[in-house]
Structure 1
Amino acid sequence: MGGSCLAERLGHYVQLSEGEREALGGLEEQDRFFRRGSVVIAENEKPREMFVVRKGWLHSSALLGNGSRQIMRFHFHGDLIGLALLAFADSPETVTAVTDVTLCPFSREKLAALIGDHPRIGALLLGLTAADRVSMADRMASIGRTSARARVGSLICELFARMRRIGALDGDGILIPLTQEEIGDATGLTSVHVNRMMRALVQDGIIERSGASIRLLDEKRLAAEANFTDRTGIETGWLPAAR
């Protein structure tokens, strides 16, 4: 097992102390493997653990009254999943592995102890959770008020921004292991409509596709068309001092 994925992610925002890094590593003492398509947390079940994503992609989704699925968030290296356990006994979402994934399970009691010993970590996680909520609200507004092209463009911009923040871009490209159905469930579109929008973005010279790999050729134009705001940067000047 390598170093702490969560410490690596948080280290993009603040310079962590040795004690903070060691404490974060304590959340990742075990690895648990899930195959692609596995349900890690099921909606309405009573989960006992949260997870740090060590490797792979997942998504959080909710089943709507008409039987359709709304994907609310994609998760990858360094993300925390299952945080609803901090507020609810029953999970309000289903977390599913998009690829084969390796996760590190931990209890809320262990997280509580970490925050008690290292309040700056707790404050930083609170800030990042708030930023995630705003980002999700942006996408929900996009689904309700923008064109199909803008919805797909906004999702692409969001994934690029998040990958850039954690240093996971390969030049100007990323590997997005999502099916057109999954992109559709995240944007409120059919897979046929997603395919049409992706082809249009390629034809207009905004993106380049090769299998699951996407290169963003004109990010400024796509962000403007999609009315996208990068929410990955947060204010950290208010955080308490490290212990």
Structure 2
Amino acid sequence: MPRRSIIRPQGTTDRSAYFLVDGWLASSMLLADGERQILKLHLPGDMLGSTSMCVEDAIDTLMALTPVTVRKVPLAPLGQLIVTNPRIAMFLLLSAQKERVALMDLLASNSRTSPIARLAFLLLNLHQRLSIVGQAGSDELEIAINQEQLGDIVGLTPVHVNRVLRQMTNDGLIERHRRQIRIIDFERLRELSKIPLRDMSIASSWQHIVA
């Protein structure tokens, strides 16, 4: 589907889950005053829409930020798959907890850290996630969204995002060429971010169950 496509609107009854095969996608919520808040960036490999599985109407909108490829899985056959293969249920449980950890980290970063710490955390997080799916180099990544969308995620205006990225460049933390970013000093970015970059692989205590 092309950029800006609405995969699933907020408030609709869509008893399905989605898997993002390729591209970048946002989960966002429409507020009472008409403003829209991006809640999470989804990258290839992510399961989408799982937070709305427990309610009748979708609580968020899934919108393509780039051209995307998604796979739709109706909840009824997914439920049958869980019944016949309990390991799928375990994977879904662990996936939901990983998403919860990610949202807790983002909440802590946006609530209790400085603007430069928020962007440092976001850049490190994106580099880690893109590296897992083979879409980032050892020190490089491409940011496929604009500064307004970046700002929406970390609670800053586009002007503030641009100012902080320029400060990072001047301080020798990163190099920028349009949407290409090279991280020069990982250690200093980690110190600035305040939030630890977590190893999100399956914990060893669960591996004998899901292997």
TM-score by length of 1: 0.80
Does the aligned pair in 1 maintain the 2:90–2:210 contact within 8 Å?
A: no
Match of 2:124 among 153, 157, 163: 157
Match of 2:26 among 59, 79, 88: 59
Match of 2:100 among 101, 117, 133: 133
Match of 1:233 in 2: 201
**Which amino acid counterpart does residue 206 of structure 2 have in structure 1?**
W
- Distance change (3 Å), C-alpha of 1:143 and 1:66: farther
**Which amino acid counterpart does residue 53 of structure 1 have in structure 2?**
L
Match of 2:47 in 1: 80
CA–CA distance in structure 1, aligned partners of residues 54 and 136 of structure 2: 33
CA–CA distance in structure 2, aligned partners of residues 125 and 218 of structure 1: 35
CA–CA distance in structure 1, aligned partners of residues 43 and 131 of structure 2: 13
Aligned length: 210
- Distance change (3 Å), C-alpha of 1:101 and 1:224: same
CA–CA distance in structure 1, aligned partners of residues 51 and 79 of structure 2: 14
Does the aligned pair in 1 maintain the 2:109–2:195 contact within 8 Å?
A: no
Unmatched 5+ residue regions in structure 1? 1-33
| 2:81 maps to 1:114 | yes
**Which amino acid counterpart does residue 185 of structure 2 have in structure 1?**
D
Match of 2:68 in 1: 101
Once the 2 structures are TM-superposed, how far is the Cα of residue 68 of structure 1 from its aligned partner? 3.0
- Structure 1 stretch 138-147 or stretch 117-126: which is displaced more? 117-126
Give 1:1-243 correspondences, 5 Å limit.
Answer: 34-231=1-198, 232-239=200-207, 241=209
Unmatched 5+ residue regions in structure 2? none
- Structure 1 stretch 54-63 or stretch 123-132: which is displaced more? 123-132
Does the aligned pair in 1 maintain the 2:91–2:210 contact within 8 Å?
A: no
CA–CA distance in structure 1, aligned partners of residues 31 and 53 of structure 2: 23
CA–CA distance in structure 2, aligned partners of residues 74 and 163 of structure 1: 12
Q: Which digits, 9 at most, give the CA deviation of each residue in 1:170-199, with x for residues without a partner? A: 231111101001001101110000000111
Percent sequence identity is: 35
Once the 2 structures are TM-superposed, how far is the Cα of residue 149 of structure 1 from its aligned partner? 0.9
Does the aligned pair in 2 maintain the 1:173–1:214 contact within 8 Å?
A: yes
**Which amino acid counterpart does residue 64 of structure 2 have in structure 1?**
A
Paired residue secondary structure (2:117) = helix
CA–CA distance in structure 1, aligned partners of residues 113 and 42 of structure 2: 24
Does the aligned pair in 1 maintain the 2:15–2:53 contact within 8 Å?
A: no
Once the 2 structures are TM-superposed, how far is the Cα of residue 100 of structure 1 from its aligned partner? 0.8
**Which amino acid counterpart does residue 96 of structure 1 have in structure 2?**
M
Q: Which digits, 9 at most, give the CA deviation of each residue in 1:29-59, with x for residues without a partner? A: xxxxx21011111111111322111111101
Does the aligned pair in 2 maintain the 1:70–1:188 contact within 8 Å?
A: no
TM-score by length of 2: 0.91
Once the 2 structures are TM-superposed, how far is the Cα of residue 67 of structure 1 from its aligned partner? 3.5
**Which amino acid counterpart does residue 233 of structure 1 have in structure 2?**
S
Paired residue secondary structure (2:111) = helix
CA–CA distance in structure 2, aligned partners of residues 242 and 127 of structure 1: 10
CA–CA distance in structure 2, aligned partners of residues 122 and 146 of structure 1: 36
